[in-house]
Structure 1
Amino acid sequence: MIALVGVPRAAGLNAGIEGALRALGLGCVRHDVARMGEIADLSGVEILLSTGVRCGAAEMDRMPRLRAVVSPVLGYDWIDAGEASRRGIAVCNTEAAENREGMAESTIMLLLALLYRLQDTEALLRTNADGDPLKRHILKGRTVGIIGYGGITREVIARLAAWGCHFLVHSRSATEPVPGVTFVPLDDLLGQSDAILVLTSLNPSTRHMLGSEQFAKVRPGTLLVNTARGAIIDEAALVEALKSGRLGAAAIDVFEKEPCPPDHPLRDLPNVILTPHAIGHNEEAKEAGPALTAQVLKTLAEGGLPDSCKNRDAVKG
């Protein structure tokens, strides 16, 4: 049995996937819930699509026939991939090109908005201010440090290469030289970058990888953009770095607790752009995603492993 389980706000996406599955001749059951515990019986589930709903050891215990867990988007940190691997369960996602491209374009947009002080510049007009005291900067020739070297990072570099930017990348997985890219330890990236883009996945090794110790190593005024996952950054340390000027400004699309709480101290800082974990979402990805996800599910239902399987070596048989 294929089960589609998603948080209520993802009901539209999962409905589209359900329709795409049925067009392929595959049946499924769909649950729009916040937690697996809201579902009475999961014992027959063999393939689970989870959209933002926690799937860890306790949830897997309720699915003795489970052989694959799928995320319909790039991220899958709500799925315990380590536990799935220990059980020989495949973990897959859907890597729509439009998703990567939207995240790359929006990350660049946020960086440009910081450099050109878009919010402050608009405020000059809205407040009918006299003069223009703002200091803006061009991106050309800047050193851009990127944490992570996945598909979104590659899309960012492809777009900014013509801007004459210098790229420092910190990645544990990249082993081959890449023209125009210098792979460096994290400390070197922090100390040499004009702007830092966080584009890595969230896992035990990256949780709070940027904290007070790391922010102390950046040059005063450095810009920061996080469109990956909120828990990669220690938010209390981020607030202090922004208040002190160690970070000149930041654009944050993701938070440890989502939605961002109304009393979050980041909301009170003038040098921050905040968006609700949606900046890269686009209609093109919405249109392409359901059909791609349905194909991933079809491959699994037929006994195969899709290219997006993240733990191929651990999957049984």
Structure 2
Amino acid sequence: MSEPEAPFVTGLPLVALVRRSSEFLRAHGVQSPEATAETLLIHHLGVDRAGLYARSAPLDPQAAKAFGRSLCTRCSGTPLQHVTGEQQFMDLSLRVEPGVFVPRPETEGLVVAALETLRGAERPVVVDVGTGTGAVALAVAHHRPDANVLATDVSEAAVTLARANADRLRLAVDVRLGDLLEPLPAELRGRVNLVVSNPPYIEEEAFDSLPLEVRSEPREALVGGTQLHTRLATDGPEWLRPGGWLVVEIGDDQGPEVRSLLSARFELVEVLTDLAGRDRLVRGRLRRADAAARALGGATSASRAG
């Protein structure tokens, strides 16, 4: 199917262009058409929202052509973030690319909950599992510059992009390629203050009912049910220090199951809701008895090895 055309972009004052562009986007089924039109114009003009409406002159021909092309690409189902190549996340501007999951605004709640667990911790060690663009790890590093932040992902494309975002934002995050916690250096066993993760949690049978824009994301970054939550609840205690925290994002119908998973090894386990009242996160603190048993087991193994 060919892309729609937007010949109206030339010659209109910007206020009128926002209005006509919004109507065009709405007619093609794009959600939040006004905000989308503004975002695309801001992207092409290199101004903020106030600067956009302070300008009255029409776009020059080159900018008009580029803007019209972006409108049509968005109408064809390409996510807005892939049209602009960037996403705002907790005051950070992240580069995004096709093939790497775009962080959603609701995941900012994961960072807020994670930061709450770090209150009072000095120079905490934080691990973001399944980092994608690096959004969660970078936001933690931004708000806790004293933290030692590591991030892992099984996708080479994600690791490359997360490292690029860290370099561009000048934030110290050690991004490693590998499965869940396996890439971590051995000396961090029993020393991590926080493991945080937004793992793939869409159920397989629900994938086909997702909006087209969501289904354009990498399938492996979406589908997983509670499999990775189970692994994190099992493997996390090996790396966490006594009283360390695990905080994970969940699907809105997975709260009871994931809470039960964590309750086997963690205390103070709670399900947290988002602004719409839907279950969104589960967090728990490693029981100190579990940490002590782990340490004793490690000492026994070392003694036998000697």
TM-score by length of 1: 0.41
Greater relative contact order (CA < 8 Å, ≥ 6 in sequence): 1
Structure that is richer in helix per residue? 2
Larger Rg computed on CA atoms: 2
